[in-house]
Amino acid sequence: MIIVLRPHPSIEDIAKVEEDVRQMGYVPHTIRGVVRTVVAAVGDETSKDSLEVLESLPCVERVIPIQRRYKLVSRQAQPEPTVVHVGNITIGGGVFHIIAGPCSVESYEQTVSTARCVAGAGATLLRGGAFKPRTSPYDFQGLGVEGLRILQQAKKETGLPVVSEVVREMDLGLLVGAVDVIQIGARNAMNYSLLEAVARSGKPVLLKRGMAATVEEWLLAAEYIAKNGNHNVILCERGIRTFENSTRNTLDISAVALAKQETNLPVFVDPSHAAGRRDIIPALARAAVAAGADGLMVEVHTDPELAHCDAAQQLSVEDFHKLVADVEPFVVAAGKMPGWRTGKTE
Ligand code: PEP
Ligand code: MN
Distance in Å, CA 103 to ligand 2 centroid: 4
Does 158 score more than 90 pLDDT? yes
Q: Give φ, ψ of 344 to 5 degrees.
A: -120, 20
> Are 33 and 144 part of one and the same domain?
no
Task: Using the 3D structure, point to which of 20, 35, 64 is the last residue of a domain.
Answer: 64
Q: What is the pLDDT of residues 218-243, one digit of tens each?
A: 999 999 999 999 999 999 999 999 99
Rounded to an integer, the average pLDDT of 285-299 is: 98
68 alpha carbon to ligand 1 midpoint, in Å?
28
Count structural domains, the chain.
Answer: 2
d(C-alpha 221, C-alpha 213), whole Å? 10
89 in the same domain as 59 = no
Q: Are 223 and 72 in contact (CB under 8 A)?
A: yes
Quote the Cα angle for 115-290-205, to 5°. 50
- Evaluate if pTM is beyond 0.95: no
Cα 7 from Cα 28, distance rounded (Å): 19
Q: What is the pLDDT of residue 345?
A: 45
pLDDT at 53 over 90: yes
R_g of the chain, CA atoms, integer Å: 23
- For ligand 1, say whether the CB of 238 is within 6 Å of any of its atoms: yes
For the chain, the average pLDDT equals: 96
d(CA 5, CA 57): 9
Q: Which ligand is nearest to the CA of 270?
A: 1
pLDDT at residue 343 in the model: 66
CA–centroid distance, residue 238 to ligand 2 (Å): 11
Give pLDDT tens digits for 178-206. 999 999 999 999 999 999 999 999 999 99
CATH number of the domain that residue 45 is part of: 3.30.70.1140
Residues 45 and 119 in one domain: no
Q: Within the chain, where are the H helices?
A: 11-23, 108-121, 145-158, 172-178, 192-201, 215-227, 253-262, 271-275, 281-290, 317-333
Q: pLDDT confidence of 46, banded at 50, 70, 90?
A: confident
CA-proximal residue: ligand 1, atom 5 (nearest): 185
pLDDT-derived band at 289, boundaries 50, 70, 90: very high
Does the pLDDT at position 337 exceed 80? yes
Query: How far is residue 12's CA from residue 139's CA, in Å, rounded to a whole number?
Result: 62
Torsion over CA of 100, 102, 108 and 109, rounded to 10 degrees?
-90
Q: Provide the domain limits for residue 39.
A: 2-64
- pLDDT above 90: percentage of residues in the chain: 91
Q: What is the pLDDT of residue 15?
A: 96
